[in-house]
């Protein structure tokens, strides 16, 4: 990937272009987890070996300051288990949705092949943005997160034919229990989405097996 010049947008971000010049590209929007930043998922993206994909990596808008010490950024504050804090969640979601609109007009994004990829909090944001307007994206790669269906958002959880979703979760996840990943898969399957659910013997993380399965899924989707 070759880092490109960024345009002014509502979220600070990085953009990486494929080597081949085209009028538009299949695109991955990489949404990092709590306590990290826009650089966090780049090694993961590199390992997927997708030379033809445009990659956009935004930074979450909130400072993450556990114990008063700044430790990266976050998309929202904790609420109840499985329910993000409503105020910070909705505010960040509004910004993210605006950002997605901005990048599709300022970068050479193929809107028919736009994939939201998230980890942990980033997965929750990918689900929320994608399920509010599923017709605007091709797929969601959901790593160690959950569908925030217990929030007050009007998520579309019906007639999701045409939406592809890859879900990975660790059986020993100590941050977001595996039951949340399983429940998300069932919700989306019942709604008609094409869901590939993979569970691994791991914690709140991404391993080589995850990357192998994700790479195959996303290549098939973008081709």
Q: Kindly report, residue by residue over 129-139, the tens digit of the pLDDT.
A: 999 999 999 99
For the chain, the structural domain boundaries read: 2-222
Reported as a single tens digit per residue, the pLDDT across 61-94 is 999 876 555 679 999 998 778 899 999 999 999 9
Those residues whose C-beta lies under 8 Å from the C-beta of residue 194, and which sit 6 or more positions away, are: 162, 163, 164, 165
Q: Are 140 and 160 in contact (CB under 8 A)?
A: no
pLDDT at 55: 98
Distance from C-alpha of 178 to C-alpha of 199, rounded to nearest angstrom:
8
Question: What mean pLDDT value characterizes the chain?
Answer: 94
Domain 2-222: what homologous superfamily? Alpha/Beta hydrolase fold, catalytic domain (3.40.50.1820)
Mean pLDDT by 10-residue block, N- to C-terminus, for the chain (223 residues)? Answer: 86 95 95 96 95 97 74 88 92 98 96 97 98 96 97 93 97 97 98 98 96 97 88
Nearest to residue 222, comparing CAs of 136, 98, 137, 154?
A: 137
Q: How confident is the model at residue 68, as a pLDDT? A: 56
Q: Where are the beta strands (DSSP E) in 36-163?
A: 54-58, 62-63, 73-74, 109-119, 139-143
- Residue 25's DSSP bridge partners are 109
């Amino acid at each position: 990937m070759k880092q490109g010049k960024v345009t002014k947008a509502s979220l600070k971000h990085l953009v990486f272009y494929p080597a081949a010049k085209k009028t538009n590209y299949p695109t991955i929007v990489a949404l990092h987890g709590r306590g990290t930043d826009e650089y966090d998922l780049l090694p993961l993206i590199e390992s997927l070996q997708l030379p033809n994909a445009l990659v956009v990596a935004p930074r979450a808008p909130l400072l993450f300051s556990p114990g008063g010490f700044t430790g990266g950024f976050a998309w929202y504050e904790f609420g109840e288990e499985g329910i993000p804090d409503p105020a910070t969640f909705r505010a960040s979601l509004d910004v993210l949705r605006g950002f997605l609109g901005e990048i599709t007009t300022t970068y050479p994004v193929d809107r028919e092949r736009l994939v939201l990829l998230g980890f942990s909090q980033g997965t929750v944001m990918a689900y929320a943005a994608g399920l509010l307007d599923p017709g605007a994206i091709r797929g969601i790669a959901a790593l160690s997160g959950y569908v925030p269906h217990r929030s007050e958002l009007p998520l579309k959880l019906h007639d999701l034919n045409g939406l592809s979703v890859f879900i990975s979760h660790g059986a020993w996840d100590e941050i977001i229990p595996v039951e949340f990943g399983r429940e998300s898969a069932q919700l989306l399957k019942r709604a008609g989405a094409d869901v590939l659910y993979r569970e691994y013997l791991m914690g709140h993380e991404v391993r080589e097996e995850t990357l192998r399965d994700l790479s195959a899924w996303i290549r098939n989707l973008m081709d």
